[in-house]
A and B are shown apart, each in its own frame.
Chain A
């Protein structure tokens, strides 16, 4: 009897070794395939994520430092391994978020982005490298995550959540409603300039995004990173914060941000937690009598707000505008004129045309006295130089040709009263058109 037990034990041990060897072989082969991750262009149903019964020795070693935390423990680690997370946007927030979720051993990561990697992304979107430029962000992020932890299942989606350029705003309402309708918490963060915000929506009696913001804000109040600027580490901090809350929820500890708005002020190095309203009974999607019971047309809901990230204004008539080619010949012929650059000083410091006078649009609008005086002087000089009672030409330039149009309208009101009579036109397409069509060495930003 004792002999039989001993034999069986030995056999079992043998088989277990065999299983480990087979698993290692499989893992090795799968690692080799990591470089050929498939990029999904549309959403397809996925097989259910299999729950692990126990941690392998490799798991134990890899996650040992977090397994030691009583807040996580073995059960928490197993919970992570059976959780799927969809990361919407593989940018400044999504990169650190995906990175820490993968590092911690999340089961499956959906990585969604419609965009390709650009040079101007790299200061904050830290999963992408120089060699990934022009590659789909979702794929670039997935490959980086796979290198970090090959046991995480990565599904890169190269698609947009709405038909037009998926503006943050539309995406926010869409993702919120999708989460409410499918009963998932939404760990949401944003970062701009030197500030960040974070809230977990639709979680344990807390509000959803619509409870807080039932009506979308007007389009002009929505600033994105390409307009407002952002210091890369600010979304980095907020993305890490998102990862923290996701890990707390997924492991079973729970998040305390369900009815909280966390605000981060990077300038003052200060975090603040604000108590928010609870879930609202009258909410259109999570309330008692919801009017939104499936996903709707979010562009229509958000109004004309939902257009391209760089809107092109058309305020002026054709004869009030010149092209960059026209301006080039004015320069080449040394025709007397005044070139007025109406961008903010911080942008003029990045690049400007050598002859331009900088007066920001806001100073023109506010009629800042020192600027108006400067303008008067320069126009008078120009008039003297032109020796005649003509109307000296003033050409206005900005980055893309939107603010310059507004400035033409302001200057036309000033012409003949606050300054001498002038002919004022704007340069269509601004400095970026100049860089593209006239001077390829001129910086683009």
Chain B
């Protein structure tokens, strides 16, 4: 059994509009048999945080094009993307790329 993990989720660049306009979410992922990875986190977010139009956040089992995922201030591509195993106190940012100016 993996222990519960407390993590800090941040949404920005407009992605926060999908989660009630709130940028910061401190959440605790419950204890489960397997360790939590990002893929499972996305399922959890979809079930617990997304108010409406989940397709604007997730597509298939990943995030939709145009959203960048950052784990502890690094591009998730450098961290193993969906397979990254979440550690207690991790910081995960979902940022929508901005177009404008």
Q: Is B truly associated with A? A: yes
Interface residues of A, Cβ cutoff 8 Å to B: 89, 91-94, 167-169, 172, 189-193, 195-197, 212-218, 220-225, 228, 230, 235, 238-239, 261, 263, 265, 272-277, 365-366
Instruction: For the complex, give the distance between the alpha carbons of A239 and B98 in Å.
Output: 14
What are the residues of chain B within 8 A of A261 when measuring CB–CB?
68, 70, 75
Q: Which of B12, B65, B68, B101 contacts A190 (CB 8 A)?
A: B101
B95 within 8 A of A: yes
Give B24-65 as 1s and 0s: 1 = Cβ < 8 Å from A's Cβ atoms. 000000000000000000000000000110001000000011
Shortest B61–chain A CB gap in Å is: 15
The 10 A-B pairs of least Cβ separation, nearest first, read A217-B66, A168-B99, A93-B101, A277-B77, A215-B65, A190-B98, A235-B101, A192-B100, A276-B75, A225-B100
Instruction: For the complex, give the distance between the alpha carbons of A57 and B31 in Å.
Output: 72
Per DSSP, chain A at the interface is mixed
Instruction: For the complex, give the distance between the alpha carbons of A167 and B101 in Å.
Output: 12
Q: A228-B14, A263-B95, A275-B74 are in contact. Are A218 and B101 (CB under 8 A)?
A: no
B97 within 8 A of A: yes
Interface residues of B, Cβ cutoff 8 Å to A: 12-14, 51-52, 56, 64-68, 70, 73-75, 77-78, 93, 95-101
| 18 A-B residue pairings within 8 Å (CB atoms) | A169-B99, A190-B101, A191-B98, A192-B98, A192-B101, A193-B14, A197-B97, A212-B75, A212-B97, A214-B65, A217-B67, A221-B64, A230-B101, A263-B95, A274-B73, A274-B74, A274-B75, A277-B78
What are the residues of chain A within 8 A of B70 when measuring CB–CB?
261, 274
Instruction: For the complex, give the distance between the alpha carbons of A120 and B89 in Å.
Output: 44
Instruction: For the complex, give the distance between the alpha carbons of A172 and B100 in Å.
Output: 10
Shortest A212–chain B CB gap in Å is: 7
Cβ–Cβ contact A265 & B100, under 8 A: no
Shortest B66–chain A CB gap in Å is: 3
Cβ–Cβ contact B14 & A265, under 8 A: no
Shortest B17–chain A CB gap in Å is: 9
Shortest A40–chain B CB gap in Å is: 22
Q: Which of A190, A238, A277 contacts B97 (CB 8 A)?
A: A190
Q: A89-B101, A190-B99, A222-B99 are in contact. Are A195 and B13 (CB under 8 A)?
A: yes
Q: A195-B12, A221-B14 are in contact. Are A168 and B77 (CB under 8 A)?
A: no
Other A-B pairs, 11, CB within 8 Å; known A89-B101, A192-B99, A224-B100: A92-B101, A190-B99, A197-B13, A214-B65, A216-B66, A218-B56, A221-B14, A225-B101, A228-B100, A235-B101, A261-B75
What are the residues of chain A within 8 A of B52 when measuring CB–CB?
365-366
Cβ–Cβ contact B101 & A263, under 8 A: no
What are the residues of chain B within 8 A of A265 when measuring CB–CB?
12
Q: Which of A223, A274, A365 contacts B100 (CB 8 A)?
A: A223
Instruction: For the complex, give the distance between the alpha carbons of A169 and B66 in Å.
Output: 10
What are the residues of chain B within 8 A of A239 when measuring CB–CB?
101
Cβ–Cβ contact B73 & A221, under 8 A: no
Cβ–Cβ contact A213 & B65, under 8 A: yes
Q: Which of B56, B64, B100 contacts A230 (CB 8 A)?
A: B100
Q: Which residue of A lies closest to B15 (CB)?
A: A221
Cβ–Cβ contact A190 & B100, under 8 A: yes
Q: Which residue of A lies closest to B98 (CB)?
A: A190
Instruction: For the complex, give the distance between the alpha carbons of A320 and B62 in Å.
Output: 39
Cβ–Cβ contact A217 & B100, under 8 A: no
Cβ–Cβ contact B99 & A172, under 8 A: yes
Instruction: For the complex, give the distance between the alpha carbons of A222 and B97 in Å.
Output: 9
Q: Which residue of B lies closest to A265 (CB)?
A: B12
Cβ–Cβ contact A218 & B65, under 8 A: yes
